Amino acid sequence: MAQAQTVHTDELDRLNEWRRYQSTLSLVLWGAVEELLPGKRLRIDHSMSKGFYCTVEERLDAAAVRKIEARMKELIAADHPIQQADFPIKKAINLFENLNQPDKVSLLRNIRKQRVTIYSLEDHYDMYMVPPFDSAGQAPRFRLGNFPPGFILIFPLWQDLSTLPEFTPQPRLARIFSEYMDWVRILGIGDVGPLNHAIKTGSGPQIMKIVEALHEKKIANIADRIVKSKRKVILIAGPSSAGKTTFTKRLAIQLIVNGLMPLVISTDDYFHPHSKTPRDALGRLDFEAIEGVDIALLNDHILKILKGQEIQVPKFNFHTGRRLKGNKTGTRQHHVTLLEGIHCLNDALTPRVPGDLKFKIYVSALTQLNVDDHNRISTTDTRMIRRLVRDTHFRGYRVEKVLRLWGRVRSGEEKNIYPFQEEADEMFNSALIYEPAVLKRYCVPIIKRVKKGTPEHAEANRILDFLQLFNDLEDRDVPSNSILREFIGGSSFLY
């Protein structure tokens, strides 16, 4: 038990060091851009290709990107100290007004704080959710990848800060982010400051309705694509707490509207009994491994469904670790089968199903909202907060356990999900711009249960500081079929 506890603690420590590394590189990047492109607004938009996608208000060519990278290396080699100072909120607003950073001004005017910490590298000032290191030289490994109209800031993986990954373009992921940035422009809300202002002035419910309508429109469009493709096996994958289950149920409804008869099944129900479940390096049951699924039975069932034959879909009991008998499908012909699970984009899960019958969908909470220009909201944090609320309210988990297991969950995702996301025929972004303001009411009380001195306390404080940035938003206007209802309860779907 002590060994397992140490492993979890090490994972939390590595994640925190990794976030500090990112903050340090972001400050160094801002310094280089401010010097080389004075007056231009640097925007760290979202994660991509094991890094951050960034823009600077103009299309950059490869030569311009190389100049920024070279200046960053000079700042790091000089190992300039990074100072920090505690500012009263009004003084901080005046500073960023003088520095022409309207995103910071909007944020500071719309949060309930009396003081903030500001970091500086030489004459470059910024704010960060996670503090940077004490000097620029502590984050030496990085690379800039040209990705017009912007570029990718590539940094080490959280498991090993000494190793820099290769830059791998992700054009499909880039397109889905571009699509959702169009949604942000429709709403006029890209940062926390404008969202808080909208909530404060009574526009929160209207924003919720628009965002949910955009979700429904996207799901309907995906259903239309499936109908036109004439494919029979719809494979739906995504990381933990992405909202795959609710998405699948809503997609099934849209397919019925199109005249199709869908059958929904889950790979989780095809798990081997615990006696046959593979174990990880520490001897723990590894439910993230594809070998944990009874692939032979799953493929046999899919092929029978395609022929219109009756099957008895199993039901896995996670408490006993056994597979039970579930419902029979009957002998009628199902027009499409929806299979949901983390491995569904990996063809090794469905090797006997012909490729021309498969339609693959990747679902994830690809957060569109930023704190400000230089502080993106992590997609993994969005999912972790969802998971904290759901697992503590409805699955009986202690908050400390959810936090401890998160590093292990992420490692599984990076091995089993992310390598296959570019193979998807469609991507669905389940993030909702308004959701942190709703989740705050559920998550803050449970986060406050984490005691000082525990390994999880620092991580709990980080999440608490993040959620405190948001004005509260009531959940009464969250529709009963919303992705968010999967985590806060009150859904019209059965899970």
What is the CATH number assigned to the segment(s) 14-169?
A: 3.30.980.10
Is the pLDDT at 312 greater than 70? The verdict is yes
Q: Which pLDDT score, from 0 to 100, does residue 3 have?
A: 40
From its phi and psi, is residue 257 left (phi > 0), alpha (psi between -120 and 50) or beta? alpha
Kindly indicate the confidence band of residue 10, based on its pLDDT and cuts at 50, 70 and 90.
confident
- DSSP annotation of 157: B
In whole angstroms, give the CA distance from residue 491 to residue 489.
6
Q: How many residues does the chain have?
A: 495
- Any bridge partners for residue 339, and if so which? 235, 265
pLDDT at residue 375, as a whole number = 95
| Distance between CA atoms of residues 355 and 286, nearest Å | 28
Domains 14-169 and 170-495 share a fold: no
State how far the Cα of 122 lies from the Cα of 100, in Å rounded to an integer: 17
Q: What is the DSSP string of 185-220?
A: HHHT--BHHHHHHHHHTT-HHHHHHHHHHHHHHHHH
- pLDDT above 70 (res 2): no
Pick the CATH number of 170-495 from 3.40.50.300, 3.40.190.10, 2.60.40.10, 3.40.50.720: 3.40.50.300
Q: Using alpha carbons, select from 398, 384, 386 the residue that is nearest to residue 484.
A: 386
Q: What is the pLDDT of residues 264-294, one digit of tens each?
A: 999 999 999 888 888 877 777 787 889 999 9
Tell me which residue has tokens 């039970």: 324
Per-residue pLDDT of 214-245, as tens digits, reads: 999 999 999 999 999 999 999 999 999 999 99
CA distance 180 to 165: 27
Q: pLDDT tier at 13 (50, 70, 90 boundaries)?
A: confident
pLDDT at 125 over 60: yes
270 near 316, Cβ under 8 Å? yes
Q: How many CB atoms lie within 10 A of CB 79?
A: 12
With tokens 């959701």, the residue in question is 435
Domain residue ranges in the chain? 14-169, 170-495
pLDDT at 218: 95
Please give the share of the chain, as a percent, with pLDDT higher than 70. Answer: 97
Confidence (pLDDT) at 277: 84
Token pair listed for 174: 């880039």
Q: Are 393 and 489 in contact (CB under 8 A)?
A: yes
Q: Return the pLDDT at 176.
A: 72
